[in-house]
Amino acid sequence: MNINTDCHLLPMEGAYNIRDLGGYPAENGGVTRKGLFFRADNTANLTPKDVDLLREKGVSLSIDLRSPKETQDWPSKLKGCAGMRYENIVMLDEISSNGFRGNFPASMAEMYIRNLDGARDSFVQVFRLLIENSGAALFHCTAGKDRTGMVSMLLLELAGAPDEVIVADYAATERYMQPVFAKLVEQMKGIGVDVPDHALRSEPDSMWRLLAHLRAKYGSARHYLEAGGIAPAELSALIARFVEY
């Protein structure tokens, strides 16, 4: 399957990895709806032109997945925007959320699996916001890779997107964020912090392993979210909004 992620990328001046999750193949021959859900990296450097573009796209909800330290150090330009609701649902990723100064995970897949198992309440909060919001929504962390990648995985799996699509959507971050990651590695070296290669990569195998764990332990994204308290009818309504035929 040839999957082009470039056509999902928004042309931004102050961000590298803001993408529309619409336009991917979904369940029963459907396609995910364009202009509904956007995944993003850091929104602290968005320009007024960037914010205007998101407004034009109909974004009325911004979900910030970062830690208190991250939001304090790099305040989102979307917080306080007229006509745009801002919510901070804290998810810790063992890397960005501790300022790259903690113990790095042995592998990204292990970290994702720990987060999926241990942070279901946070994921449920995110999905409740997506369900309640009538307009387009954007969710982001610092790189748009780990925490954002997991929310994207759950959304696309819920929509019935093929696993190859989910993996390709995740893996694309490494390419889009390369300029940022290269600069970050140099900055960290300057203060004596060695960042392992895998911490700044989005290798397909990490997402394949997470998907395998999701299916083995929970069955599907739907079952995972239902077990967290979201009603089946609410998830069906979300899918109906997200998938078009």
Pairing state between β 37-40 and 136-140: parallel
The pLDDT of residue 193:
63
CA dist., res. 61 & res. 151, Å (int): 15
With a pLDDT cut of 70, the percent of the chain lying above it is 91
Tokens matching residue 189:
């070296």
What is the structure's pLDDT at 22?
Answer: 98
* For residue 233, pLDDT beyond 90: yes
Q: What is the CATH number of the domain that holds 17?
A: 3.90.190.10
Does the pLDDT value for residue 234 go beyond 70? Answer: yes
Distance (Å, whole) CA 34 – CA 243:
9
For residues 142-150, average pLDDT: 94
Going by C-beta distance under 8 Å and a sequence separation of 6 or more, which residues neighbour residue 210? 109, 112, 113, 116, 150, 153
E strand intervals along the chain: 19-20, 31-32, 37-40, 59-64, 85-88, 136-140, 243-244
Report the pLDDT value the prediction gives residue 104, as an integer from 0 to 100.
73
Structural domain includes residue 139: yes
pTM above 0.85, yes or no: yes
Q: Quick one: tokens of 72?
A: 């304090």
Residue 119 lies in a domain: yes
**138 by DSSP, 3-state: which?**
strand
Task: Return the percent helix, strand and coil in the chain, to nearest 5.
Answer: 50, 10, 40
The answer to the question of residue 239 being in a domain is no
Domain total in the chain: 1
What is the side-by-side strand order in the sheet with 136-140?
19-20, 37-40, 136-140, 59-64, 85-88
Distance (Å, rounded) from C-alpha 18 to C-alpha 12?
A: 8
What is the mean predicted confidence (pLDDT) over 141-165?
Answer: 97
- Of 128, 119, 125, 209, nearest in space to 166 by CA: 209
Instruction: Write the pLDDT tens digit of every residue in 189-208.
Output: 665 666 677 778 899 999 99
pLDDT in tens, 81-139: 999 999 999 997 655 545 555 567 788 999 999 999 999 999 999 999 999 999 999 99
Asked if residue 167 is part of any domain, the answer here is yes
**Residue 245 lies inside a defined structural domain of this protein:** no
On whether residue 209 sits in a domain, the answer given is yes
In a domain, 113, yes or no: yes
Domain that holds residue 40: 6-231
Q: Is residue 78 over pLDDT 70?
A: yes
Beta bridge partner(s), residue 186: none
48 belongs to a structural domain: yes
